[in-house]
Every structure is written in C-alpha cells, then in structure tokens.
Amino acid sequence: MLLATIFIAFAAQAQEKIGIGIKVGQNFTSVNSVAVDRHAASFHGGVAFQIGLTEKISLVPELLLSQTKLSTNPSIVNLLGSTYNPETYHLNYLLVPLLVQVKPFSNLLLQAGPQYGILIDQKKDGIENAQLAFQQGEFSFVGGAKVNLGGFFVYGRYVVGLQNINELQDQAKWRTTQWQLGIGMSLFGF
C-alpha cells in the first residue's frame, strides 16, 4: 500500500514535468568537399517532448522529418570549361535528437545533445533514386536556443555532422553542417 501511494505521488508530480509540442522550420544545409550551393534551404517538422528533471534542466527528445536539399553549383564546373547540368538531391531523414535543455532565464532555454538521422529516401532531381551516393544514417551534434512566447516558441540551432555521409568509393569525406530556424506550439506542459 505504501509503495502504491509513493508511485501515485511520483506519477502525479511527473505529469507536471512532461510536455509535448509541435514544431516546423527551415533548414540551411552545407556539405563540405562537394560542389553544392552553400546553405541550400529545405524544411523540417515534427514533435518535441520535454521531461523535466529539475526546475532548470530537462531532457528533450524529438522526432522530426527533415529534408536536406543539395543543389550542385554549375558555376564551379563552368570555370573549369566543361559543360555541366546542375543536379538537385533531396535527402529525407527521420531525425531523433536527444537534447539536454537548460533554463538560465524564465523564457530562454539552451539546448545541446546528440542526434541520429535515418535516411528514409533520397532522390536526384526529384525523380531518380540516388541510393548509392549517401550513407543510410548520420550522427550529429546539435546546439542552440529556444525562446518561449506563451504557448508558442521560436528556436535556432546549429547541427554539425560527425561522420562521413559519402557512400561512394572515392576518398572524399562529406560532412554536413546545418542551421535550423523555426517556430513551434506547446500542446501542454512546456
């Protein structure tokens, strides 16, 4: 009986520390060692959970669908004197970041942590399958800030790829960097 009472009290307190929100935003992606336009724009969206550990520290696991758009830059190749048709690659990822969130001020939250991206689809020029060019997953590190605005929030973060996403047999190492900017809405408890 005592154990059941303790469990019920803990569960009631935990509900006050759990929150769910939805978010949508813009990605600006670069890949080093590849002749692509820098900071090509794409999108992301999904759901964020918040699990309060203390009054100032929370865990924030998220589940996001994100597109990385890479457009080859014909001006680089044209300088070399060859004819070249630009190509666009669309890489669709299921992102799973696990962030630690610190609340230094009442409305400002700082976030950092690892992220794993599962490549769920890749297309070249919107129609062709480019399955051989990119790794099926990518580990990254995420750091950024979020500002609470009542039931809404805005955020910005920087994502650094920690591994080579090149699946081709050439020796070039492709690593991504990405800015994410977005808005979100707290469904409850944020």
Give the pLDDT score at 45.
97
Residue 40 — pLDDT band, cuts 50, 70, 90?
A: confident
CA angle 147, 144, 18 (to 5 degrees): 60
Average pLDDT, the chain: 77
129 located within any domain: yes
- The domain in which residue 86 lies consists of 18-188
What is the distance of C-alpha 36 from the center of its chain?
Answer: 20
13 located within any domain: no
Residue 12 — pLDDT band, cuts 50, 70, 90?
A: very low
Average pLDDT (62-85) is: 65
63 located within any domain: yes
Q: Measuring CA to CA, how many Å separate 77 from each of 36, 52, 124, 167? A: 11, 51, 18, 22
**What pLDDT digit, counting tens, does each position of 42-73 carry?**
899 999 999 999 999 999 999 999 987 776 65
11 located within any domain: no
36 located within any domain: yes
CA angle 67, 68, 73 (to 5 degrees): 145
Phi-psi region of 37 (alpha: psi -120 to 50; beta: other; left: phi over 0): beta
Burial zone of 48 (CB within 10 Å; 0-12 exposed, 13-18 middle, 19+ buried):
buried
Give the pLDDT score at 96.
96
Q: What is the rounded distance in angstroms from the CA atom of residue 64 to the CA atom of residue 87? A: 26
Say if residues 175 and 159 touch (Cβ distance below 8 Å).
no
8 located within any domain: no
CATH number at residue 76: 2.40.160.20
47 located within any domain: yes
Please count the structural domains in the chain.
1
Q: What is the pTM of this model?
A: 0.73
Evaluate if residue 7 carries a pLDDT over 60. Answer: no
Q: What is the rounded distance in angstroms from the CA atom of residue 187 to the CA atom of residue 190? A: 8
6 located within any domain: no
